[in-house]
Amino acid sequence: MVPVSVEIPLQERSYFIDIGSQLLDALGAHPALPKGTSALIVSNETVAPLYADRLLAALKHKYGIVHIVVLPDGEEHKNWQTLQKIFDVLLENGADRKTVLFALGGGVIGDMTGFAAASYMRGVPFVQVPTTLLAQVDSSVGGKTAINHPLGKNMIGAFYQPQLVVCDLDTLDTLPQRELAAGIGEIIKYGPIYDMEFFSWLETNMDALLRRDRAALAHAVKRSCEIKAWVVGQDEREAGLRAILNFGHTFGHAIEAGMGYGTWLHGEGVAAGMVMAGELSRRLGMVDAAFVERLRALIVRAGLPVRGPRIDEADNAGRYLQLMRVDKKSEAGEIRFVLIDGPGKAVVKPAPDALVREVIDACCA
Ligand code: NAD
Ligand code: GLY
């Protein structure tokens, strides 16, 4: 398979996303690798045994000294305590400003490594080597880095771009099926917000994606990255447009926080959240029932949830609203939703609480 590259166009902070097979072992010779005195691979206890030795061997060609830090696995560890372990290893090994960080793992590792790179000595270079579908189509691209707070998801972080992203599709072979489906959740979102032709392609190729057909995965990763590049290139710091990438996330983040981080996967929360946001759009007269049904049907085919969980027995909708007010898109306590204003076009708007309550009541188990 011939690798393809997608550029994130950000003037002096521009970089490429390489997508293909057999890229991991060749990474040490990549011409776009940052120069450096040493490297630190950040991974977790699941991914490190699978791929860290290979990345280490590849990087030894480029950086004489390469260390590894292995973090605990899981969204529930995306916090200060785990982040501190990265700084501990950097300082214990005398890492300087020319130390390059490599994120080897899914979105949790990518977000934490990026935040560590943004803040260690006020900024060191970093490279994303995403090993989940979700990270390859979304989280490794665009420079959002963060950790969670018990009161809200991704609340503490920074915008900080990697210098290179390398998506080796071969690493997806070891991904559990539930995680593959979660990644497809983030792929589906690109249809309603921007590209209904891609949505139709997903309808045709969903079975191929689920059986990990290499060509189908390559196209899905490439098209997702192209759309994200187009958005991030215009609005790196989410002054406006970039918020459309959060379709389904306002409800989804409430699900993740409300259930306890790690109970629902991020992509699962986004999936049910997209149905809720689609239904809210319908009740606001912006799309018809046929569109919401088409969205729901594709999410079902991906094996993802289309109904939100109950997160509070006494006042479920009230708890969703409470958690959603902490969303980063909220302004002065007013929740702003990514809504679909006709298939393929997203807008960010508030909605009346009473209507949101109706949607939550209708869309939760
Ligand atoms: P994850 O990082 O928790 O990875 C999912 C699971 O798969 C983990 O158990 C991991 O150890 C395992 N894994 C990873 N690669 C594997 C492989 N190749 N083989 C076997 N197992 C493997 O979850 P995720 O879905 O990748 O990312 C979700 C996170 O990404 C969330 O924290 C979310 O907030 C964040 N996110 C960030 C952005 C952004 O723009 N920065 C965008 C979307 C999501
Ligand atoms: N995943 C949303 C964003 O990158 O903006």
| Closest residue to atom 2 of ligand 2, CA basis | 245
**Mean pLDDT along residues 265-279:** 98
The CB of 282 under 6 Å from ligand 2? The reply is no
The CB of 142 under 6 Å from ligand 2? The reply is yes
**Mean pLDDT along residues 193-202:** 98
Atom of ligand 2 nearest to the CA of 186: 1
Q: Which residues contact 355 (CB under 8 A, 6 or more apart)?
A: 280, 283, 284
Kindly tell me if the per-residue pLDDT of 2 is higher than 90. Answer: no
Kindly tell me if the per-residue pLDDT of 343 is higher than 90. Answer: yes
**Mean pLDDT along residues 127-132:** 98
User: For residue 106, what is the DSSP state?
Assistant: S
Compute the distance from residue 110 Cα to the ligand 1 centre, in Å: 8
Mean pLDDT of the chain: 97
| pTM for the whole structure | 0.97
Kindly tell me if the per-residue pLDDT of 151 is higher than 90. Answer: no
pLDDT band of residue 121 (cuts 50, 70, 90) is very high
Kindly tell me if the per-residue pLDDT of 93 is higher than 90. Answer: yes
Contact 122, 115 (CB under 8 A): no
Residue 333's CB: how many other CB atoms inside 10 A?
A: 7
Kindly tell me if the per-residue pLDDT of 328 is higher than 90. Answer: no
Residue 109's CB: how many other CB atoms inside 10 A?
A: 32
pLDDT band of residue 216 (cuts 50, 70, 90) is very high
| Predicted pLDDT at 1 | 84
Kindly tell me if the per-residue pLDDT of 192 is higher than 90. Answer: yes
Residues forming a β-bridge with 166: 18
Helix (H, G, I), strand (E, B) or coil at 326: coil
pLDDT band of residue 111 (cuts 50, 70, 90) is very high
Kindly tell me if the per-residue pLDDT of 329 is higher than 90. Answer: no
pLDDT band of residue 303 (cuts 50, 70, 90) is very high
Q: Which two tokens stand for residue 48?
A: 């490190």
Compute the distance from residue 339 Cα to the ligand 2 centre, in Å: 16
Residue 235's CB: how many other CB atoms inside 10 A?
A: 14
Kindly tell me if the per-residue pLDDT of 331 is higher than 90. Answer: no
Domains of the chain (ranges, CATH numbers) = 4-174 (3.40.50.1970), 177-363 (1.20.1090.10)
Residue count (the chain): 365
**Mean pLDDT along residues 59-84:** 96
Contact 350, 335 (CB under 8 A): yes
| Predicted pLDDT at 302 | 98
Atom of ligand 1 nearest to the CA of 153: 34
**Mean pLDDT along residues 92-110:** 97
| Predicted pLDDT at 32 | 97
| Predicted pLDDT at 350 | 96
The CB of 153 under 6 Å from ligand 2? The reply is no
Q: What is the pLDDT of residues 28-68, one digit of tens each?
A: 999 999 999 999 999 999 999 999 999 999 999 899 899 99
